[in-house]
Chain A
């Protein structure tokens, strides 16, 4: 009988699938992970504290830098919180533009998630290249509308920053036309691929109880078979008028999270189609004073960001800047179930699980 000794390896931060400062201290016995400890790293941006020194409008650029892969959604969540706090109404055109932008951002973010996940399973760059190809088209739309590609900073309190340009609609129509074949391609390349299924099925299983107890959200929760989507459960920006479905998985493994993301892309396309067809006219923004002083009180607004429930908690003391500013980031909370998912699997599985969570480190230490 060979006696083996467990040893510790650091998966990350230099590891390609741990994007930056995050690392897993994994104790392994051969290839089997017998213990895993997460070290969140120290990005040390202290954004929440900084935000308490700036006015409400000045805080918007912070939010698109927390989650740099879904800046539109993050802007939107913050603006919703301020609007809730100050009681500001958004005109219907502004809401429709917001919905289109948030859904385009979901497409772009899921492209990254799906591509990086495929890369983590070892599909040597091809899926990630295809995903990037599609994502570029969406980033081009963002560039035309807001001037920036990654950190868009497009939402404003009371609406959006600029009206849509004439190039906008044909570009979105092009995405609507060219995206479904891409999703079908990914399905043929990955979700119907036996090696991919063998690698991801039954890996990182989360039971519904575990998912709820860890307060997970987004595709992680829906992969476990829980039909929970804030766009349906607590609609904002007029999501109740669009017809779309919530995709849910079967067993809560990495494979289910993957196919849920692919289906969410299809549903997002459906929403964009409806919103674009019924785009109302009129103003795109309610005029709001730059030095906004909301009445005393607190507000919590949440949206369904690509990674899950993104919440902003604001407390006002009638000053020009928030008394308290807190973000509920989905990546940070989704990571909390990592230990349960990785222990018992192999090192290769740990990477797949990490890829299926779809983390953005900017959100984890904000």
Chain B
């Protein structure tokens, strides 16, 4: 029997894990062999859903997003149901469950039915490898970064299933768009993360946090370009607004989920926020040093630091959603292949060279700060030069029209009115 309390720290929520382990140990003695594993999986799924996914997605995700976007749009956001409108997500959920989930007559009923279920599953699985604090990770596998990338590619299948099975032309558009986009954006995303992997020399997420702790520097300072590429790619894959071309409410009428209603729609919509939170948590782990904060974790619970960093990153998602217009599908594809991919290759080249130098210097501790300065300067220069090389000239776009005093026919562009 494991000790009930692992540490004397009040905030150590690993005790909950011990509690479940004690329960399962007791159950193992009663139940026939093997059944306890099924029970453990069920308890884990339900508990993580109730304890983490539901509060984080519904309360923090939906409510926070609506309040912050409401502030950006100079309106109030939800403020009627419960104190400060905090119960609004629950009211929404009740409303969605009550609504009829329609299925079009000609739709592929089975595929259309299971698509939202498949869409939800990875959202829970993703959190298995993310370290919330010291030793606070559900499955500390050595290849957790690969696991995260692999599982995060699963929802694409679900959205494609949803779009294809709806038997609606707009849905088909959305499905096609999401597949092409996922393929395009996975390459620069992985290239950018490779930079972080090469620098830290580990492919485990807890290893990366340990690396950041050991060298007292966050990956974002050494690899700023990788973070930028990661942010753009992940918002494209997650259909967040500047690039939500698969959903695109104003052009293809919500794309793959046009025909979904009720809680089926709610699952898609809620899990969109869930995936954005998971991606934020991943970014906080890889780029922002996870649950460490230069020694502050001695005084503040590590998981609190981690959640703060996650939401700092998630705020960026909300911010872009509240302000930016949407790109077109072909522009987005061109951006991935022509702009981000070469930048990712350059970044990988630079970081590999630096890593070689560092290895020759036998991991001199101060050298990483030199790399950080060099890389920040290089990233800015590289983005600027590559944009110029691609023909990007912002000053050529006049943002004010010409002004004319008299009504008098056509005035060619070159002439002064």
Q: Which residues of A contact B (CB under 8 A)?
A: 7, 9, 14-17, 31, 118-126, 129-130, 133, 187, 189-199, 201, 208, 212, 222, 224-229, 232-233, 245-251, 256, 259-260, 263, 346-349, 351
Contact = CB atoms under 8 A, between A and B. Distances in A.
Interface stretch (B68-76, B131-139, B150-158, B276-284): B68-76
A126 B322 contact: yes
B169 A9 contact: yes
Given A248-B404, A260-B401, A7 B321 contact: no
6 smallest beta-carbon distances between A and B, as pairs: A122-B326, A233-B407, A129-B73, A232-B407, A245-B403, A247-B401
Contacts of A247: 401-404
Interface string B379-414: 000000000000000100111111111111111110
Nearest to A189: B323
B32 to A, nearest CB: 54
A31 B173 contact: yes
Contacts of B365: none
A194 B396 CA distance: 12
B417 A251 contact: no
Interface stretch (B107-115, B247-255, B289-297): B247-255
Contacts of A120: 250-251
Interface in B118-167: none
Given A199-B325, A227-B409, A263-B401, A125 B173 contact: no
B198 interface: no
Contact of A248 (B250, B322, B397, B401): B401
B169 A7 contact: yes
B170 interface: yes
A187 B328 contact: no
Nearest to A212: B410
Contacts of B323: 123, 126, 189
Given A122-B250, A346-B329, A348-B248, A227 B242 contact: no
A104 to B, nearest CB: 21
Contacts of B400: 259, 263
B397 A122 contact: no
Contacts of B402: 247-250
Contacts, number: 147
Grouping DSSP codes into helix (H, G, I), strand (E, B) and loop, the A interface class, with mixed when no group exceeds half, is helix
* B69, B169, B253, B399 pick with most chain A CB within 10 angstroms: B399
B184 interface: no
B253 A226 contact: no
B132 to A, nearest CB: 31
Contact of B410 (A198, A226, A246): A226
* A195, A229, A351 pick with most chain B CB within 10 angstroms: A195
Contact of A259 (B242, B321, B331, B401): B401
B170 A9 contact: yes
Given A227-B417, A251-B413, A346 B330 contact: yes
Contacts of B325: 118, 121-123, 190, 193, 195-196, 199
Nearest to B70: A129
A189 B173 CA distance: 29
Interface in B220-240: none
A123 B250 CA distance: 9
- Interface size class, chain B: 35 or more
Contacts of A256: 401
B251 A348 contact: yes
Contacts of B75: 129
B330 A31 contact: yes
A194 B395 CA distance: 11
30 contacts: A7-B169, A16-B249, A17-B250, A31-B329, A122-B241, A123-B324, A126-B69, A126-B322, A133-B74, A187-B399, A193-B325, A195-B327, A196-B325, A198-B327, A201-B397, A225-B411, A226-B410, A227-B409, A227-B411, A229-B407, A246-B405, A246-B407, A248-B411, A256-B401, A259-B399, A347-B251, A348-B251, A348-B252, A349-B328, A351-B250
Contacts of A260: 401
A247 B245 CA distance: 33
B403 A246 contact: yes
B409 A226 contact: yes
A319 B118 CA distance: 73
Contacts of A263: 400-401, 403
A120 B327 CA distance: 11
B403 A122 contact: no
Contact of A130 (B73, B242, B408): B73
Contacts of A124: 241, 321-322, 326
Given A129-B75, A347-B251, 7 more contacts: A122-B326, A123-B324, A126-B69, A248-B411, A250-B401, A250-B402, A348-B248
B244 interface: yes
Nearest to A195: B325
Contacts of B413: 225, 250-251
A208 B170 CA distance: 34
Nearest to A7: B169
A120 B408 CA distance: 32
Interface in B157-208: 169-170, 173
* A192, A251, A348 pick with most chain B CB within 10 angstroms: A348
B399 A16 contact: no
A197 B327 CA distance: 10
A347 B250 contact: no
Contacts of B403: 245-248, 263
A229 B256 CA distance: 45
A7 B251 CA distance: 17
B17 to A, nearest CB: 40
Contacts of A189: 323
A347 B412 CA distance: 30
A246 B411 CA distance: 12
Contacts of A119: 250
A19 to B, nearest CB: 12
A119 B322 CA distance: 12
B417 to A, nearest CB: 7
B73 A126 contact: yes
A351 B404 contact: no
Contacts of A17: 250-251
* A122, A195, A201, A248 pick with most chain B CB within 10 angstroms: A122
B401 A249 contact: yes
B398 to A, nearest CB: 7
B165 to A, nearest CB: 18
Contact of A199 (B326, B394, B417): B326
B335 to A, nearest CB: 9
Nearest to A129: B73
Contacts of A232: 406-407
